[in-house]
Amino acid sequence: MFQYQVINIRMISEKLSNGYMILNILLVEVIGSILTPKIQIADIQKM
């Protein structure tokens, strides 16, 4: 019984970390797409 619980916890934590990685990538993509135009505009204004 205990052995099974340990395996179960490992599987759950692996799924969570995979989900977290996907969320992280999505966040980076969204933040990047929001910031990139602003950075380009700022660079143009500096010139």
Q: Please tell me the predicted confidence (pLDDT) of residue 27.
A: 92
Residue that has been written with the tokens 């143009």 in this structure: 44
Where along the chain do its domains lie? Answer: 1-46
Mean pLDDT of 13-28: 90
Predicted TM-score (pTM) of the model is: 0.49
What is the rounded distance in angstroms from the CA atom of residue 8 to the CA atom of residue 19? Answer: 17
What is the rounded distance in angstroms from the CA atom of residue 38 to the CA atom of residue 46? Answer: 12
Of 10-14, 15-19, 23-27, 42-46, the one with minimum mean pLDDT is 42-46
Q: Please tell me the predicted confidence (pLDDT) of residue 7.
A: 79
Mean pLDDT of 19-45: 84
**SS3 state of residue 33:** helix
HSE-up of residue 13 (Cα within 13 Å, Cβ side)? 6
Query: Cα(first)–Cα(last) distance of the chain, in Å?
Result: 68
Q: Please tell me the predicted confidence (pLDDT) of residue 5.
A: 78
